[in-house]
Structure 1
Amino acid sequence: MTMGTTTATAYSTWLFYYSPTCNFPSPRLAPRRITLRSRSRTSTCLSAKATSWQMESGILQKGIAEFYDESSGIWEDIWGDHMHHGFYEPDSSVSVSDHRAAQIRMIEEALRFAAVYEDPTKWPKTIVDVGCGIGGSSRYLARKFGAKSIGITLSPVQAARANALSAAQGLADKVSFQVADALNQPFPDGKFDLVWSMESGEHMPDKAKFVGELARVAAPGATIIIVTWCHRDLDPTEESLKPWEENLLKKICDSYYLPAWCSTADYVRLLESLSLQDIKSADWSPYVASFWPAVIRSALTWKGFTSLLRSGLKTIKGALAMPLMIEGYKKDLIKFAIITCRKPK
């Protein structure tokens, strides 16, 4: 299949699936504070071993790095330097100009949910951005709190671009970025007042190791914020997802270089096992519903289409998976989750 044919297929697939009236799951608006231990059973992702290419960390990391090396420039050109979802009111009608503001709202709502604003005397002075993209969150947080922030990514292209943008914005003394593995962070124990992971957890092949590293680098009393894609929580009578659900998620994994998925409840159990405090979680899927049609709409512009044509096969493959993501949300399988906690003092 030629590049032109592949890109045309991506374009037509996006066009076919785009519907401004997509039925996303009903809102579950209230944060859920965890006060009791969940049942001990875990989803498949927490017990899976390195038996497939997705779980072989070297291959997975290489795929992730190349995917973002290839696609980050397109995203920045169209969406700016915040490489994550926007936060919208459920069922809202928004204009194209609102989407970048919605990405800022996502950061603000995450900070508010985690109660970072409650005591200005305890605002973070040191921040790590785990899976930093091109540094949008790091720069925003550094400005807001007057803090120093370090971002890590597997993509050399992202790290270089993030450092260049920070220098251009006069933040080189406050913000820096480097290539590093989130599962083996190059930082001492207890270094950061705020540990921030915005849509990077879904790429982690070992969720226990991932959460353990977030807790390790957190200073006593630090806040940990994880915003990530999850699958639905299992019902008490279930031992696993349904076969069709597992099949859909596998197709998405193959397109976005993801290991096996896990649930919000799995994350909560991991945080509980580390004796972390003030654990809260919520399903923010209704708040991101407007984002998916917006991404598709941007791809249907001439600028988006020509950028995709120039991008490369990995980005095109990711584009073709967009309808699968929409299907997962519509069928209440995929959840956009926020999980926050504090490290004991």
Structure 2
Amino acid sequence: MADVEVVQENGIVEMYEEAANMWDVEQWGEHQHEGFCDIDSPVSGLTPDFKLAKTRTIEEALLFAGFSSENPEKRPRNVVDVGCGIGGSSRHIAKKYGANCQGITLGATEVQRATALSVAEGLADKVSFQVADATEQPFADGQFDLVWSMSSSEHVHDKRKFVSELVRVAAPGGTVIIVSYFHRNLDSSEESLQPRETELLEKIGELSFSKWCSAADLIKLLQSHCVEDIKTADWTPHVASFALARSSSRPCVGPKTTKGGKMAPLMVEGYEMGLIKFGIITCRKSL
């Protein structure tokens, strides 16, 4: 890994380790990702709906991928939560769908917090967490019927290796779900983003330690593997107001989280330009 990527990766770990230490579950909920809102009813501020919107993101993703809590044949059974944070997605999927979930993250503090919260909820036999790299997962080939990545792929620099690992650990016929920030897809007449767009993404990346790509870029990588039924949707209208509300109210008590909190006005600019997108990609590993 190049030196700059080492610095970026270390920054990601430090930022989320700070957040894990001070994240108030009662106030902000168990989930550190964006919330899905009705376009005509955006959520703002730290209200009960603020936490429910984050849970809805999980449900909307599972529904989009064809899962259902009502049909036993369409429930996930064995899940890996790639970039699990403090384990909110894993606990929700385990409780509602009865799945066994394993979460991986780069931060030891996140693993400790995720484990403690899971024990407190009586889920120690359904979920587990460990420190591991998304691009070098410590799992056997074909182990999971659901490979889940919620708001983590934007921080991974080696997208090719990331996608390869997601597909590798998926069981034949298993589902991969990626929910993430992206930059806009290029038009057929474009070879690259406009200079002012690139400059803005670089500024945001310096604050959030993110590595930007388009949804089309990740889909192209998926298409290089044996996968089927690739689907994607642009959820930007459903999360934009929530994301900005969360950025403006997020806790900033350490140097890394404070640095990340400064990106809100840049994100506003990116949304208004049509540059920043938030969406979902799903596919099924070929049998």
Question: Normalising by the residue count of structure 2, what TM-score does the alignment of the two structures yield?
Answer: 0.94
Question: 1:325 is matched by which residue type in structure 2?
Answer: M
Matched, 1:131 2:83: yes
**Offset of 1:60 from its aligned partner?**
2.6
Question: 1:253 is matched by which residue type in structure 2?
Answer: G
In the alignment, which of 58, 67, 73 is matched to residue 15 of structure 2?
Answer: 67
Residue 189 of structure 1 corresponds to 141
In the alignment, which of 227, 230, 241 is matched to residue 290 of structure 1?
Answer: 241
Residue 224 of structure 2 corresponds to 273
Distance between the aligned counterparts of 2:42 and 2:88, measured in 1? 25
Q: Which structure 2 segments of 5+ residues have no match?
A: none
Distance between the aligned counterparts of 1:314 and 1:94, measured in 2? 26
Distance between the aligned counterparts of 1:221 and 1:197, measured in 2? 17
In the alignment, which of 223, 228, 248 is matched to residue 175 of structure 2?
Answer: 223
**Offset of 1:93 from its aligned partner?**
4.3
Deviation string, structure 1 residues 124-171 (Cα, Å, up to 9, x no partner): 211000000100000000112211100000111111000000111110
Deviation string, structure 1 residues 241-268 (Cα, Å, up to 9, x no partner): 0000000000111111123x11111111
Deviates more, 1:142-151 or 1:333-342: 142-151
Matched, 1:89 2:31: no
Query: In structure 2, the residue corresponding to 1:129 is in which secondary structure?
Result: strand
Question: Normalising by the residue count of structure 1, what TM-score does the alignment of the two structures yield?
Answer: 0.79
| 8 Å CA contact retained: 1:292, 1:326 | no
Residue 20 of structure 1 corresponds to none
1:1-345 superposed matches below 5 A: 53=4, 56=5, 58-77=6-25, 78-94=27-43, 96-117=47-68, 120-259=72-211, 261-296=212-247, 298=249, 308=252, 311-345=253-287
**Offset of 1:120 from its aligned partner?**
2.5
Cα distance change on mapping 1:197 and 1:93 into 2, 3 Å: closer
Distance between the aligned counterparts of 1:121 and 1:313, measured in 2? 47
Question: 1:105 is matched by which residue type in structure 2?
Answer: R
Question: 1:134 is matched by which residue type in structure 2?
Answer: I
- Greater relative CO (CA pairs within 8 A, separation 6+): 1
Cα distance change on mapping 1:246 and 1:51 into 2, 3 Å: farther
Identity of aligned residues (%): 56
Question: 2:139 is matched by which residue type in structure 1?
Answer: F
Cα distance change on mapping 1:91 and 1:73 into 2, 3 Å: farther
Cα distance change on mapping 1:267 and 1:183 into 2, 3 Å: same
Deviates more, 1:167-176 or 1:266-275: 266-275
Residue 30 of structure 1 corresponds to none
| 8 Å CA contact retained: 2:66, 2:74 | no
What value does the CA root-mean-square deviation take over the aligned residues? 1.6
Distance between the aligned counterparts of 1:189 and 1:160, measured in 2? 26
Aligned residues between the structures: 283
| 8 Å CA contact retained: 1:116, 1:223 | no
Distance between the aligned counterparts of 2:110 and 2:62, measured in 1? 24
Distance between the aligned counterparts of 1:52 and 1:231, measured in 2? 24
**Offset of 1:108 from its aligned partner?**
0.6
Query: In structure 1, the residue corresponding to 2:90 is in which secondary structure?
Result: helix
Q: Which has the larger radius of gyration?
A: 1
Query: In structure 2, the residue corresponding to 1:289 is in which secondary structure?
Result: helix
| 8 Å CA contact retained: 1:127, 1:148 | yes
**Offset of 1:315 from its aligned partner?**
1.1
Distance between the aligned counterparts of 1:202 and 1:296, measured in 2? 16
**Offset of 1:59 from its aligned partner?**
2.7
| 8 Å CA contact retained: 1:189, 1:217 | yes
Distance between the aligned counterparts of 1:169 and 1:119, measured in 2? 25
